[in-house]
Amino acid sequence: MILLVGGTSEAVAIARLLDQAAEPYIMTVATEYGYREASAKVAGQVLKGPFNDSTFGRLLAEYPVSVVVDAAHPFAVALRNELSAAAAEAGIRLVRLERPTNSYGAEQDITFFDSLTDLGAWAAQQNFGRILVATGIKGLGVLAGFLDLQRLYVRILPAEESLAAALRLGLKPSHIIAMEGPFSRQLNEAIIRDLRIDLLITKDSGEAGGYTAKLEAALACGCRVAVLKRPEPARGEIFWTPQTLLASLGVLGKGKES
């Protein structure tokens, strides 16, 4: 049995391939929103978190897991570390799926930061008008501590907990864009132009997170971009596509061709 960790689009893609191969697995997600989305798209058992090293440890003891697949978000550093610790403690193989990124650099009017604190402090010192935050709800509190909420627009998932968190921070309802991505370059451009955005704040979440489309849209609109750099990939067995990862486990080819 496989323990599949993550509520990402890649995790869903892996689960669907496992369904086709009739390979037993359990899938874990962190939120109610992720649970609803995954449960509607995959046939396997989906468990809702939150999870940490001890709860992962209990899962590994309760189920006959032979391999752990980490398909969590690239910025879910704490979760990935806790999962790694639990797998190591149980002596179970762990493989990771990483998202490819692109080669955009500072020469293209994009500024990169190692932390949201550094990014927020930098943005607060600039003379930007309207700012669009497209990093999701996590970390929004850090940025809100540096930036004028009257000039801040945010794009978040249409989940009750995300909307409630944004409102608690003091965001105006009219400044909250609750939509599920990833978004096309055209839609990103329309939002940036319509709201007259001067600075887009995003993170290197890879193609699955619509990263390139956001950058291309902002640059086409003459909008400055601030990017939270991706954490360094964790050590261990790393794969870049669901297909190569599952091929390494000997899973592909066991079920029907899609």
79 against 196, higher pLDDT: 196
Distance, CA of 177 to CA of 187 (rounded, Å): 12
- Name the range with the highest mean pLDDT among 46-50, 96-100, 190-194, 205-209: 190-194
Residue 253's pLDDT band (boundaries 50, 70, 90)? low
pLDDT, one tens digit per residue, over 12-49 is: 999 999 999 999 999 999 888 889 999 999 999 999 98
Residue 255's pLDDT band (boundaries 50, 70, 90)? very low
Nearest to 77 by CA among 108, 130, 114: 114
**104: CB partners within 8 A, 6+ apart:** 110, 212, 215
Average pLDDT over residues 174-201: 95
For 13, half-sphere exposure in the C-beta direction (CA atoms, 13 angstrom radius) is 15
Dihedral angle sign, alpha carbons of residues 176, 221, 208, 148? negative
pTM over 0.75: no
Distance, CA of 220 to CA of 46 (rounded, Å): 40
**Over the chain, what is the mean pLDDT?**
90
Domains defined along the chain, listed by start:
2-98+233-248 (3.40.50.720), 106-228 (3.40.50.1980)
Residue 106: the pLDDT is 56
pLDDT at 257 over 50: no
pLDDT at 227 over 90: yes
Q: Which two tokens stand for residue 236?
A: 């261990």
- Indicate the length of the chain as a whole number: 258
pLDDT at 182 over 70: yes
Residue 14 in 3-state DSSP?
Answer: helix
Per-position DSSP letters for 108-119, written without gaps between them: GSEEEESSHHHH
Average pLDDT over residues 144-149: 92
Residue 256's pLDDT band (boundaries 50, 70, 90)? very low
Distance, CA of 174 to CA of 183 (rounded, Å): 20
Average pLDDT over residues 207-221: 89
Residue 101: the pLDDT is 72
Residue 104: the pLDDT is 65
Residue 208's pLDDT band (boundaries 50, 70, 90)? confident
Residue 254: the pLDDT is 52
pLDDT at 65 over 50: yes
Element (H, E) at 84: helix 77-90
Nearest to 138 by CA among 84, 75, 226, 191: 75
- Name the range with the highest mean pLDDT among 108-112, 147-151, 209-213: 147-151
**pLDDT > 90: percent of the chain:** 68
